[in-house]
Every structure is written in C-alpha cells, then in structure tokens.
Amino acid sequence: MIHRLARALSPATGPAPISARIVVNGVEGICDPLGGLYLPETGTLVVSDLHLEKGSAFARRGMLLPPYDTLATLRVLEAAIARHDPKLVVSLGDNFHDRVGSAVMPDAFRHMIAAMAHGREWVWINGNHDPDGAFGLPGASMDELRHAGLVFRHEPKRSDAAGEVAGHLHPAATVVRREKAVRRACFATDGMRMLMPAFGVTTGGLDLRHRAMTGLFDRSKLVAHMLGRDRIYSVRFVNLIA
C-alpha cells in the first residue's frame, strides 16, 4: 500500500499514471492506480474500505500500531480527488475501522474531509465495521445507493450481481514477474460486478482464489486489475497463481 502513498505525494510533473478502462453492466469506468474507480459519465469517484482511525481503534484495545494511517489514507484520497475532480464521491463502507471512529477522529482530519467534500456530493455507505454511519461529517450515510445503472454497497450479494460495485473482501491477486511472485491489491470484475480494492493504506487483501470469492464471478471473464506504483496491470484470472 505504501507505493500508493508515494505516488500520491510525488511531484505533479512526473509521468502520467496508466489506468485501465473497464465496463461494468454497460457503465464505463477507469481504474486508477491510487485505488479509486472513476465513472466519467456521471463524474463519480468510488473508493472502498478506508478503515480510517484503524490505529486509534487498535490503541483502544491495547495494541499499538503506527498512528499515521488516517493521515496517509486521506493524502491518497486527496490526490485521487485532485486528479478526477468528481461531482460525487461514494465511499463503500468500512469507512472507519470501528463504530466510534468517526466520532473520535481529530478535528484536523475532519477539516481535510470537509475540504475534499466542498462543492461536491458525498455518500458514506455503511459497512460491517461502521454500521451506524459517519458522525459529524459532510455527506449522507446509507446502506446502499442505486445510481446510473449501478448499485453501490459494502458487502457483495451473490443474488444481485448485475451492476454491483462492492467492497468488503479486499481483493488481491498474485502473478509471477521476473521469476518472482508479486501480490497486489486489485479491482476485480467480470463485466457484471466489480469488487473494489481496499483504499486504506494499512489494510490487507484476500486472494481472488479464496473460498469467500466463490460464486461471485464468471471466472472465464474475470480480470484482476492490479495496482502498481504508477499503473494498473490487467491480468486474466486464468493467468493468476494461487
């Protein structure tokens, strides 16, 4: 995840990132190496699983993590918003690592979010970590959003694949490159549904071959759009390794 933060903080004069154009249920999207999905027709930026205030959530349980996760994640989000200038931002749940994360978040981070949300719509989808919504922040909290031919929710539903854009599972994929196994977070789609990579910089990933992914995709059409430092690597499922 650190490569995304490095890319977000790199000079604007550097090489342009190489994204991947995809289609989900007839809707065109752009997979950004920073981890967001941009839908140009509606000016929508989608991110998932920010897990803000993860460090503080662990600290409340007596487990210490470096306390920089929220700032680092918001810096990457700032970069994605600056790149696409969306009309609408949709954050697909587990926006915070626990139920009190949005209430105890320091004011400095609240100001960062308010600045990003200024002049645009913002939707917080509720997740299993933060089912009560975002407290005291711009935008609306809801369990699900149906918008422009797509349905945005946190957890994928096997019975409702068409146009679903979901998070929760933190998809990741592994390929062999230069005789070494390389594992990266990824966007995963078969053209009907999309699973989003986790956007939070300290989140892990679940391999596309994990049993939790069973039945979600037509694997003959499934492509993993893997996050590199400055580009997306698109790899068909059949070419991934376990």
Tokens of 9: 């903080």
The verdict on residue 113 lying in a domain is yes
- Name which of 36-40, 54-58, 124-128, 204-208 the model is least confident about: 54-58
CB atoms within 10 A of CB 242: 8
12, 54 Cβ separation under 8 angstroms: no
| DSSP bridge partners of 174 | 183
Query: How confident is the model over 132-177, as pLDDT tens digits?
Result: 999 999 999 999 999 999 999 999 998 889 999 999 999 999 998 8
Nearest to 113 by CA among 137, 93, 81: 137
Indicate the Cα dihedral angle 182, 30, 215, 132, nearest 10°: 100
> Which residue range(s) make up the domain with 84?
2-9+21-239
Q: Which pairs from 53-59 meet CB under 8 Å and 24+ separation?
A: 53/96, 53/97, 53/98, 53/101, 53/102, 53/104, 53/105, 54/97, 54/200, 54/202, 54/203, 55/202, 56/101, 56/104, 57/96, 57/97, 57/98, 57/101, 58/97
> Is residue 224, in this structure, part of any structural domain at all?
yes
Domain-located, residue 15: no
How many structural domains comprise the chain? 1
Where residue 65 falls among pLDDT bands split at 50, 70, 90? low
- Residue 95's pLDDT is 93
Establish if 70 belongs to a structural domain: yes
> What CA dihedral angle connects 70, 228, 48 and 117, to 10 degrees?
60
* pLDDT at position 58: 52
Query: Does residue 128 form part of some domain?
Result: yes
The CATH number covering residue 177 comes to 3.60.21
The H-assigned helical ranges of the chain are: 2-9, 54-60, 69-84, 101-104, 107-117
Residue 110, domain member (yes or no): yes
Residue 102: the pLDDT is 82
pLDDT at residue 216, as a whole number? 97
Could you tell me the end-to-end alpha-carbon distance of the chain, in angstroms, rounded to an integer? 20
Q: Which residue has the higher pLDDT, 63 or 20?
A: 20
pLDDT of res. 193? 98
**14 located within any domain:** no
Domain contains 16: no
Q: What are the tens digits of pLDDT across the range 93-108?
A: 999 978 787 888 999 9
What share of the chain has pLDDT > 70, as a percent?
89
- The stretch 77-103 carries a mean pLDDT of 93
Whether 1 has a pLDDT exceeding 80, the answer reads no
